[in-house]
Each structure stands twice: as structure tokens, then as C-alpha cells.
Amino acid sequence: MPQTVGMQGGIVGSAVRRAAAVTCGIALAGVALGAQDVLLTMGPADAATVSAALGAARAQFLNGEPESPAPPLACAAWPEAASFASALLAGDQRDAMAIVNRCIDGGQRLVDVELHVIQPALYHIGECWQANHISVAGEHLATAIAEAVMTMALLRSPVPDAIGKRVLLACVAGNHHAIGLRMVADAFQLGGWDVRYLGANVPGASIVQLAADWKADLVGLSASFAQQLRNAKETIARLRVTLGTSRPAVIIGGLAINRFDRLADMVGADAGTPDAQAAVACGNRLVGG
């Protein structure tokens, strides 16, 4: 099983990269085949853009083109990402914690450690799972360890001065990928924001209700798959209808958003950003934090 993470956050082994690219084609083809609902809820221009991108991925898969590049990674991996990934694959929580502790003891900020160590390691876990090199249980174990390490590291990070701004963060209905949003939550918290993090698979109506009751300045939504974009779009539309001009600003992110340009616009968000660090900079810009 390849356990090396390259400096750019990808797997070094070309066989695994090819397998990842093929399976990415399968995933995208699957999305393309099931995307009618998404396309129907968007305008014709938007639908054409999404349809073209998904159609190209589907054709590539059907033509059996395994050499296509893996999806772009949002972050550069530090050398520690490789040993962190190995600790996750070995199910060694102590080692994983020790690696992150050493980074923080060495003066690194948690936000950077999450972006350049934990995130690339998790992407690597995804590629191992996709290539059938680890089981579902192995992937779950890695995920659970990563979450535990992030909690530990957040607790030992210095508490920032509050900036008096509120951000509500949720994965849209159907999205069970919550760790990326947890990183976004940590980054906002360490940036002095008051954070409400709701985690995975949250119904749109509940997001809007809490945004109104809590008077959020900013709402951040996470979406992993094209099928979830409709839920994102509906939630944002509901925010507009319910709160009118006093609605919070909305940013969106996640794998689905990172894959295609313009998706943030299409679902009606004020902005989309590729990672946790960019999310805070964007939030500060949008609501003057």
C-alpha cells in the first residue's frame, strides 16, 4: 500500500494516481447521469456550464481515458503530511497527535497545520480507499483519529480576541463530509469569530431558522457532490425570502465547489472559497470583520 504523500498533497505512486483518476471519472460520470435535478433548478446558462463539465467527465470515463489528471488539490502538503497519513493508516492516534503537537510546539498555527498536514493526509486516505488499498473501516478509523486530533489541537490553541461577528456553518442536506467544514469552523474561531458549527447533513429550513434567531452575520455552507447543489441553492433562496435585506452574507465551499468554477455564483452565494484559510479572509471582507 503506498503511504507517501507528495509535496503537492497528492500520492506519489502513479498507479494509484491513475486509479484515482479513473474512479474520479466514474464518480463524475455518476454525477452526470444523475444530475438532471440539479440542472433543472438552474438557469439555462448555468445548466449549460455544469452540463458541459460533467458531460466531458462522463465521455472521458466512457472512452476509458485513465491518464487524466487527478482533481486539483487546494493545498500544498508539508513533509509532516506523509507521516500523519501513515499514522492514520496505522490507526495510531498517539502518533498522529504527537505529529500535530510537534508542529504546534514548533510555532505553527493550527489553521496551517490543518491545511497543510491533516487535509492532504485525508485526501490521501480517500485515494487509498478509492484504489481499494484500505477498507471502509480503515477509512472510518482514519477519519475518527483526524477528528480527535483536531479537537485536541483546538483546545490547546490560544484563544483570540473576539471580533464581534457571528458565523453559522453547516453541511447542506445530503452532505456527510463534515471534517472540511470543521476546519473552516476552527479557522473562524481562531480568527476571533463567534462560531456555530452544525456539522453534517443539516436541513435547509433549520439552517435558516437558526441564522434568523441567532442573527448570524455570515452563513457558510458545505457541499461535496453536484446533487447537493440544489439543496444549497434552495437554502440560500430561503434565506433571501425569509430575511430579505437583513439576510447574512453566504459563502460556500467543499469538494463540489472546488471542482468547477462559477458554482458559487450559480447557487446564489456571495462567494465561494477553496479552503478554510481563504474562508476567513473572505468572511472578513464580506462582513467587515
Chain residues in the site for ligand B12 (CB under 6 A): 23-24, 27-28, 74, 115, 119, 122-123, 125-127, 129-130, 139, 143, 174-181, 183-184, 220-222, 224-225, 251-255, 258, 273, 275-276, 279
Whichever of 42 and 57 has its CB closer to ligand B12, that residue is 57
Nearest approach, Cβ of 1 to ligand B12 (angstroms)?
Answer: 15
The span from the first CA to the last CA of the chain, in angstroms, equals 45
Q: Say if residues 99 and 87 touch (Cβ distance below 8 Å).
A: yes
Nearest approach, Cβ of 4 to ligand B12 (angstroms)?
Answer: 16
Whichever of 220 and 248 has its CB closer to ligand B12, that residue is 220
Nearest approach, Cβ of 247 to ligand B12 (angstroms)?
Answer: 16
* Residues 148, 86: Cα–Cα separation, whole Å: 16
Whichever of 139 and 234 has its CB closer to ligand B12, that residue is 139
Whichever of 61 and 123 has its CB closer to ligand B12, that residue is 123
Nearest approach, Cβ of 25 to ligand B12 (angstroms)?
Answer: 9
